[in-house]
Structure 1
Amino acid sequence: MSSYLGVGVSPGNVPVYHSTNVNVLDRRIKITELVLRCVILGLGVLAAVLVGTDSQVKEFFSFQKEAKFTDMKSLVFLVVANGLASGYSLIQGLRCIISMIRGRVLFSKPLAWAIFSGDQWRQWWRQDNRV
């Protein structure tokens, strides 16, 4: 049940307050999304840089062999995948900033599906291709 004053009653007779200020909630969601996308961007770049710049030297008797990430195709693939995921997060972060500045909600259904699909692809890619 809810009354015309914006106060509803839960089954346990506890008053539930329905906020009429949707803009505050919308702004918090946008800020949270922006922060999470920036964290993903930073971690993706960090992973790509760490794997890309790492090398190891192994000594066999008097012979030294230096191993780099380019010696294994899977590590090259990992660096490229992290770069792509970071680029996607950068683009989406910029979209979040523009959305916050303009104050518009995403009204384009095809764009919303493209963003959702990109997020799902990135999540699947990160979980399926762990080295």
Structure 2
Amino acid sequence: MRSPILYLSGQVLAYLIDIGSFYAFVLSGALEVFFANVVGKILAGIFAFFFHRVLTFQAIGQTARSIFSQGSRYASLLLGNAFLSSAVLSSLLWMSIPLLPAKIFADICTVVISYVLAQRYVFNRGR
């Protein structure tokens, strides 16, 4: 039970980075909504990788090759998650759902998927 709670805690912290940078990019006009969402997820993902690697899944004390392998798998997961979330977000905005509820809903849709994939394929101690 410890892993899901720590994962959710790390995701909440990462989400603050995600939504904060998302709004900063959108409100400043620096990026369109879709790209602001992807960039926010990348920034949050960098934080989340180290949080989950050390605290949630305790995948420490491994070789540099193992760390690189985990990082590569996590980056792939992050990229897929960012684009899936952005696609859901774009669809909700197309349906005239307000921006903040649409973003939150889109991200909630992907959190369970990302936990299962991170646990099984990224930080699996057998890899």
Q: TM-score, normalised by structure 2?
A: 0.35
Greater radius of gyration (CA): 1
Normalising by structure 1, report the TM-score. 0.34
Q: Tell me which protein shows more strand as a share of its residues.
A: 1
Higher helix share: 2
Compare relative contact order (CA 8 Å, sep 6+) and give the higher one, 1 or 2: 2
